[in-house]
Amino acid sequence: MSWQVDSFASFLEHERNYSAHTLRAYLREVEGFIAFCQSELGLSQPQAVTPAAVRSYLAHLHERKLARTSLQRALAAVRTYFRFLAREGVVASNPARVVPTPKAPKRLPEVPTVAQLSEMLEALPATPQGLRDRVALELLYGCGLRASELAGLNLDDVDLSRRLVRVLGKGRKERIVPFGREAEKALRAYLPVRAELRQKVHEEDGDPLIVNLQGRRLSDRSLRRILERAVRQLAVVHRIHPHTLRHAFATHLLEAGMDLRAIQELLGHASLSTTQRYTHLDLAHLMEVYRKAHPKA
């Protein structure tokens, strides 16, 4: 019987609403698992896969010196795949469900300070490219957006008068996020530049908010290059990427006293535990917040 990879891909895209990036990653992991089962274990169909086969594959990845996070990602993809096959009646149960997830060390990315971020933003030149980059960074940090969410924004997603932006997040879930005066100021300076750049585009490609110098929608990769360029100009900030600004957004709001559940809504997280991993408060700061907030402290 077929391993039904094409049907699984359709399920991820149309029912789970996975992004193109996540879809490619899951299919790559599942295809690697299937190839291992066929070549190393002699399994010709998914019904023959056992929990021991899944553990053997993880051991194989471990022998290749893959990081624990890579093993976690592979197991998550295989679990989702067999959950789909079980739903379709192809297999009786999910053999990956009982396989324990490899534990990975918890490493928090470096979070720049408010002063460092301000210095980085102020260092950007008042050129068309610099004005565009300022908007991108203000929204990444000021709204806690993912790079893919920022790249997907259209002009009509932004309400300048009320300082709100409509964001389409993971699973195509929509949320409304406020932004501050600095982001509004950056947007107002950038929009005339954007309008001029958009005149270069003749074919229809939507109405993207953040565009390249040819007037077309900026990609996730280009957004990362923008941040890398800004960081190079400011030597005091190291090893940060667009997602680090999302962590900084959550951390700085929590430090200022915002409720964790409110931050969860702004970030578009389905689970509060995910939001907690985005915060970077040391014990001393937590004790200070506790003493100020708790009546029995």
Q: What are the tens digits of pLDDT across the range 161-208?
A: 999 999 988 778 899 999 989 999 999 999 999 999 998 887 666 799
Average pLDDT over residues 256-273: 75
Q: What is the pLDDT of residue 292?
A: 63
**Residue 167 to residue 172: CA distance in whole angstroms:** 9
**Residue 82 to residue 191: CA distance in whole angstroms:** 48
Measuring CA to CA, which residue among 255, 251, 190, 267 is closest to residue 226?
Answer: 190
* pLDDT digits 0-9 by tens, 221-262: 888 788 777 766 654 455 666 677 777 877 787 776 677 777
* Domains in the chain: boundaries: 5-87, 114-292
Percent of the chain with pLDDT strictly greater than 90: 47
- CATH for 5-87? 1.10.150.130
Query: What is the separation of C-alpha 148 from the centre of its chain, rounded to a whole number of angstroms?
Result: 7
The burial of 182, by beta-carbon neighbours within 10 Å (0-12 exposed, 13-18 middle, 19 or more buried), is given as: middle
* Average confidence score pLDDT of the chain: 84
Query: Which CATH code, of 1.20.1090.10, 2.70.98.40, 2.60.40.10, 1.10.443.10, is assigned to 114-292?
Result: 1.10.443.10
278 included as an active-site residue: yes
Q: What is the pLDDT of residue 241?
A: 67
Q: What is the pLDDT of residue 297?
A: 47
Q: What is the pLDDT of residue 105?
A: 64
Average pLDDT over residues 13-27: 90
Q: Where residue 112 falls among pLDDT bands split at 50, 70, 90?
A: confident
Specify the residue for token string 């929608």. 217
Phi–psi pair at 13, nearest 5 degrees = -75, -45
Q: Exactly one of 278, 290, 292, 294 is catalytic; name it.
A: 278
Q: Where residue 287 falls among pLDDT bands split at 50, 70, 90?
A: low
Residues in the chain: 297
21 included as an active-site residue: no
Q: Exactly one of 60, 79, 170, 280 is catalytic; name it.
A: 170
194 included as an active-site residue: no
Q: Exactly one of 217, 246, 247, 252 is catalytic; name it.
A: 246
Identity of the residue numbered 203: E
Q: Which residues contact 47 (CB under 8 A, 6 or more apart)?
A: 1, 90, 91, 92
294 included as an active-site residue: no
**Residue 51 to residue 49: CA distance in whole angstroms:** 7
